[in-house]
Amino acid sequence: MFEWVWQPSRLVYMSGTVSVGAVFSPAYPGGNWRWRFWINGRLSPEEGKAVSELKAREVVESRFATFLDRAALKPSVGSEARS
pLDDT tens for each residue of 21-69? 999 999 999 999 999 998 756 666 789 999 999 999 999 999 989 888 8
Query: Does 77 reside within a domain?
Result: no
Query: Does 81 reside within a domain?
Result: no
Query: Does 80 reside within a domain?
Result: no
Query: Does 83 reside within a domain?
Result: no
Look at residue 80 in the predicted model and tell me its pLDDT. Answer: 43
Q: 20: Cβ–Cβ under 8 A, 6 or more apart, which residues?
A: 13, 14, 37, 38, 39, 40, 60, 64, 67
The pTM score is 0.69
Give the domain extent around 25: 2-70
Query: Does 17 reside within a domain?
Result: yes
Res 72 pLDDT > 80: yes
Query: Does 63 reside within a domain?
Result: yes
Query: Does 25 reside within a domain?
Result: yes
Q: How many structural domains does the chain have?
A: 1
Look at residue 77 in the predicted model and tell me its pLDDT. Answer: 60
Query: Does 52 reside within a domain?
Result: yes
Phi, psi of 41 (to 5 degrees): 140, -135
